[in-house]
Copies of this chain bind each other. A is one copy, B any other.
Amino acid sequence: MTETLRSDALRRGRPGYDQRGILEVAVAAFNEHGYDATSIGMLADRLGLSKSAIYHHVASKDELLGLALDEALDGLEGVLRAPEATTGAASDRLAFVLRGAVRVLADRLPYVTLLLRVRGNTDVERAALARRRAFDHAVAELVAEARAEGSLRTDADPAVVARLLFGMINSLTEWYTPAGPLTPDDLADTILALALR
């Protein structure tokens, strides 16, 4: 949401936000101030909307959080369900999943950033953590298969290797800017060069 779009919406007197636009502004605020410290009133100020206009689109702040976490998790789970993740050599499937995760992270950066900060304080957060654990478990399975195939550089516990590989990928949320010179595929190439034989 750019400043121009926002001021256009204000000028017209009929702010053009749909649920998606509200979600984008909410996720930016959650990442900047923390979920707990962000109120619907703060979002209303940022959007130039009344609180009741926001409640026309979403039932609660909790629903916004759930929608935001779905955005990250649906993307990651979509990678795992693709045919390239389910058939073929384990090293190819693992490479596809790591590359796909980098792409989801780059495409949905604020949503994945938010997901990585979730600590399980509410039902919505606990449900997201359960989905994240299932994702991690599936990656660890792939690492185990790649190790059995001999295509991994280490004999360490597959769950530890999966955590370290995603440590690398998730650290992109600390410094990666999609507008910069590095494409998600460049980054994925580097990560795969480090991870696989």
Quick one: which of A151-189 are within 8 Å of B by CB? Answer: 153-154, 156, 160-161, 163-172, 174-175, 182, 186-187, 189
In the complex formed, the residue of B with least CB distance to A182 is B160
Most buried by B among A168, A174, A193: A168
A182: chain B residues within 8 A (beta carbon): 160
Task: Quote the shortest CB–CB distance from A179 to chain B (angstroms).
Answer: 16
In the complex formed, the residue of B with least CB distance to A192 is B154
Question: If the complex has contacts A170-B171, A171-B170, are A193 and B156 also in contact, measured as CB distance less than 8 A?
Answer: yes
A164 touches which of B34, B161, B163, B190 (Cβ 8 Å): B190
Question: For the complex, is A1 an interface residue (Cβ under 8 Å from B)?
Answer: no
Interface size range on A against B: 20 to 34
Question: For the complex, is A194 an interface residue (Cβ under 8 Å from B)?
Answer: yes
Question: For the complex, is A195 an interface residue (Cβ under 8 Å from B)?
Answer: yes
Contact B167 A174 (CB under 8 A): yes
Question: For the complex, is A40 an interface residue (Cβ under 8 Å from B)?
Answer: no
Task: Quote the shortest CB–CB distance from A149 to chain B (angstroms).
Answer: 16
A194 touches which of B153, B174, B187, B189 (Cβ 8 Å): B153
In the complex formed, the residue of B with least CB distance to A154 is B193
- In the bound assembly, the distance between CA atoms of A187 and B156 in angstroms comes to 9
A171 touches which of B153, B166, B186, B191 (Cβ 8 Å): B166
- In the bound assembly, the distance between CA atoms of A190 and B153 in angstroms comes to 9
- In the bound assembly, the distance between CA atoms of A161 and B167 in angstroms comes to 13
A167: chain B residues within 8 A (beta carbon): 167-172, 174
Closest 5 CB pairs of A and B: A167-B171, A154-B193, A156-B190, A167-B168, A168-B168
